[in-house]
Amino acid sequence: MKGYLPGIALLCTLTSCELFDYQPLDGTVNIHADGKANADNLSVIESKTIDKSCIRFAFVTDTHRDDDETELFVRLLNERDDIDFVLHGGDITDYGYKREFEWTYRNLGRLTVPHAVLLGNHDIPAYGNLVYESVYGSADFAFVAGQYKFIALNTNRLEYENPGNIPDFDFLGQQIADCDKYRGIIVVMHAPPNSEQFYGEECVRRFSDTLSQAPNLYFCLHGHTHHHTVSELLDDGVVYIGCDNIAKRSFLIIDLSPDGYSCEVVRF
């Protein structure tokens, strides 16, 4: 029987390779988006909402590996005809593995409205940040929907050995510089200030000071905490809206109008 043990071990190894992804860390992914997935969708959003004074979008976040809930979310969105686009607040993976990116890309790709995805802290390890860039592009991006400007920022400072330019205040300042051209500004991030990801007294103060340069800032939108909240986190008059993780079977529908905004929690 001793002569058969290596064969049994080899069989177990081969079987395990079929069940598990043993090369999840090489920074590559079986998605042919050339880093343009967000840019392509944002182009559609901008073209379909030109000059609209009223915008309705869905915000979902922290889907991780909750595929059943994510698929149900997609089906629910596709049954509606009143949504302009979807924003995903990040953490589309648990561990930054390439197969997790592929699952989420496939699931969100079934949406009948355009969508854009932010980078979450769970998406960065295991070269996940490289996978994200190869699929979606830069973690900092901005776009215009109707009369409103959206600014998306990477705020996951804790995940980087040298997080000196996270968040990128130069990018944020440049995007806010022309805020008077728009009816309202919305800043979107994964981790909110004063979380374990977005830390540092000086960094948070600079963030608040930069946002103060946009008098028409409607609100900031974030995920990460896995809870729906509406609060002035920094006591500076800026409202932060947090969203439940998808495992709670919940997402947000947000309306923008000349009169302001409203936020509805949808539970399913």
Per-residue model confidence (pLDDT) at position 51: 92
Burial 229-242 (b: 16+ CB within 10 A, else e): eeeebbeeebebbb
Per-residue model confidence (pLDDT) at position 231: 97
Contacts for 93 with CB less than 8 Å, ≥ 6 apart: 64, 65, 100, 101, 104, 120, 122, 123, 128
DSSP code for 165: T
- Below-70 pLDDT ranges, the chain: 1-28
Sequence-ordered strand ranges (E) for the chain: 55-60, 85-88, 115-117, 141-145, 148-153, 184-189, 217-222, 229-231, 240-242, 250-257, 260-267
Contacts for 248 with CB less than 8 Å, ≥ 6 apart: 226, 267
DSSP code for 49: T
Handedness of CA 154, 156, 160, 163 (dihedral sign): positive
pTM above 0.85, yes or no: yes
**129, two tokens:** 């940040």
DSSP code for 131: H
**25, two tokens:** 């860390």
Least Cα distance to 191 among 203, 179, 175 occurs for 203
Per-residue model confidence (pLDDT) at position 29: 82
